[in-house]
Amino acid sequence: MNFEEEMKKRVTEVKGVIAGCLPQEEGFQRTLLEAVNYSMLVGGKKLRPLLMQQTYVMFGGNRPVIRPFLAAIEMIHTHSLIHDDLPAMDNDEYRRGKKTTHVVYGEAMAILAGDALLNLAYETAAKAFDLEPGNPAVGRAFQILAAKTGLDGMIGGQSVDVECEGRTLNAEQLGFIYRLKTGALIEASMMIGAVLAGASQEEVETVSQIAANVGMAFQIQDDILDVIGDADELGKATKSDEKNHKTTYVAVMGLEQAQRDVEQYSNEAVRLLDSLPYENEFLRELILHLIHRKA
């Protein structure tokens, strides 16, 4: 398998699904719709829908019911990025190599675009009920999506991150923030793929553990790249955590320990993946590639 070729092919597929769920730019609210589409179409790895899709495939899933959830998880992720870039949060001017939404459309419109995407995500995911009205897994998947996004998930983690800005945190406190702010959506992605494909409860739990390890490794690697990464490759400014007085894993543990911990978390994710009685070579390579990415 040529991973790079497979990656391009699958990202193109996912982008097609997502594009088909975006609104037409028309009507009196056209500027808002343009801001929504601008934010969704500026690039990105499409990590979360890819993880969802490939977990679904690994467990034997092959039905259109996954498609609304693929789009929904990327909408939620993009909503979080729009708000994260705002002046009240990280005040970033570039994201994915392009000007951030609030720079292009103004702060108020960016807030509304983020709100609109979060609502559109649930509206889109709900279409799965029409595709398979008698399938209880759809309801379970919807519950996972909502829970991992909310107070005990991504938004809860973001709130602690904001509240702790400027404070010195320890590894345990950082781990809590990372598990919610970053890990929750990765867990949602892989768990939804497993649930919709008919995985057992025990298998879904294993998938949740895999995703938790991927989330921790991914976020620690993000901290590492903020210190030693190349801004042109990353498509955003480096040293932003230092600028915003945020305690990072690198600041607490040191660069070398952070790199070792990325390796440990990634090895555990792959070990758990290999323990399942299924195979998906691309998913395995995707996890390793994303964890050890340079951009």
Q: Which CATH number is 247's domain given?
A: 1.10.600.10
Q: Is the pLDDT of residue 96 over 90?
A: no
CA distances from 24 to 91, 191, 264 (A): 29, 31, 45
Q: Average the pLDDT over 6-25 and give the result.
A: 95
Which range (143-147, 150-154, 241-245) has the least confidence? 241-245
Q: Is the pLDDT of residue 56 over 90?
A: yes
Residue 259, token pair as written in the block? 């790199």
What does the pLDDT read at residue 291? 80
Q: Is the pLDDT of residue 12 over 80?
A: yes
% helix, strand, coil for the chain, step of 5: 70, 0, 25
What does the pLDDT read at residue 165? 84
Q: Is the pLDDT of residue 236 over 70?
A: no
Q: Average the pLDDT over 261-266 and give the result.
A: 94
Q: Percent of the chain scored above 70 by pLDDT?
A: 94
Q: Is the Cβ–Cβ distance between 215 and 291 less than 8 Å? A: no
What does the pLDDT read at residue 101? 96
Q: Is the Cβ–Cβ distance between 141 and 196 less than 8 Å? A: yes
What does the pLDDT read at residue 249? 92
CA-wise closest residue to 222 among 260, 182, 189, 163: 182
Which range (67-76, 208-217, 236-245) has the least confidence? 236-245
* Local structure of residue 22 (DSSP, 8 states): S
Instruction: Indicate the average pLDDT of the chain.
Output: 92
Residue 199, token pair as written in the block? 């995985």
pTM of the predicted model over 0.85: yes
**Per-residue pLDDT tens for 60-84?**
999 999 999 999 999 999 999 999 9
Q: Is the pLDDT of residue 242 over 60?
A: no
Q: 111 versus 42: which is more confidently predicted?
A: 111
Distance (Å, whole) CA 189 – CA 73:
7
- What total of structural domains would you count in the chain? 1
Q: Average the pLDDT over 26-50 and give the result.
A: 94
Strand partners, 98: 95
Give residue 35's identity as a one-letter amino acid code: A
What does the pLDDT read at residue 125? 98
Which range (56-65, 234-243, 267-276) has the least confidence? 234-243
Nearest 5 degrees, angle CA 205-CA 183-CA 87?
Answer: 160
* Local structure of residue 91 (DSSP, 8 states): -
At 295, the pLDDT band (50, 70, 90 cuts) reads: low
Q: Is the pLDDT of residue 245 over 70?
A: no
Q: Is the Cβ–Cβ distance between 295 and 235 less than 8 Å? A: yes
Q: Is the pLDDT of residue 278 over 90?
A: yes
**Segments forming the whole domain that contains residue 149:** 3-291
What does the pLDDT read at residue 103? 97
What is the distance of C-alpha 52 from the center of its chain? 10
